[in-house]
Amino acid sequence: MSPKHISSAFDRDLEAIQAQIMKMGGMVERAILDAAKSLETRDVELAEQVRAGDKAIDALEEHINEQAARVIALRAPTAIDLRLILSVIKISAALERIGDYAKNMAKRTSVLAGMTEVAGSQSALRRMAREVQSMLKDALDAYVQRDPELAMNVIQQDADVDQMYNALFREYLTFMMEDPRNITPCMHLHFIAKNTERMGDLVTNIAEQVVYLVTGSVPEENRPKGDFYTADAAKV
């Protein structure tokens, strides 16, 4: 096979993998929005759809990793192309993890549907989830456009998500102190808020990979962080 044909085949492989990344990104965006909507509207059926859809996200990540490994093994990519493939693997891993957190939100929605509603909390969480989804959209656009400036903007926006989380944390503490009956639902809501904040962290990881892909180095400045309450949240 001539070098030209090898190059063409390699380009097609890369295009196919990147198309799968964008498909996966779209699925994760939808999972975030649907999980948040199901929480606000107490739509248990929609929450179950999010949980079921996570299997497709997991399967797509596995497929992307297999394709990436195949390209590395068969095409012997140059340094720049290898950087692209490694970025794809890391981005798909971040997307899969975000999907897990969306599934977690949907799982807790089913539990919260049978409890007394905490006034205003679900709508605030939905706004936070929408912010993360918007960041993810921009991060994926930055990846497609190879736009490090847009990626850096995404990284800066993570501080806004952290502030939303801090506000919700304080709000839940107030609700729990005012009425002990709020303790259990507020604990569930806190886990959802923390997991949403973690989604924002993962989106910034994707944005950092875009910067790395374009420039060959990760951003040097420290990522802006504003989450003062760092208790771990369960994945599932």
Taking only the tens place, the pLDDT of each residue in 31-76 is: 999 999 999 999 999 999 999 999 999 999 999 999 999 988 887 7
pTM, to two decimals: 0.88
Q: Taking a C-beta distance cutoff of 8 angstroms, is the pair 109, 44 a contact?
A: yes
For residues 191 and 125, what is the distance between their CA atoms, to the nearest angstrom? 11
Taking only the tens place, the pLDDT of each residue in 122-180 is: 888 999 999 999 999 999 999 999 999 999 999 999 999 999 999 999 999 999 999 99
Taking only the tens place, the pLDDT of each residue in 85-98 is: 999 999 999 999 99
CB atoms within 10 A of CB 199: 28
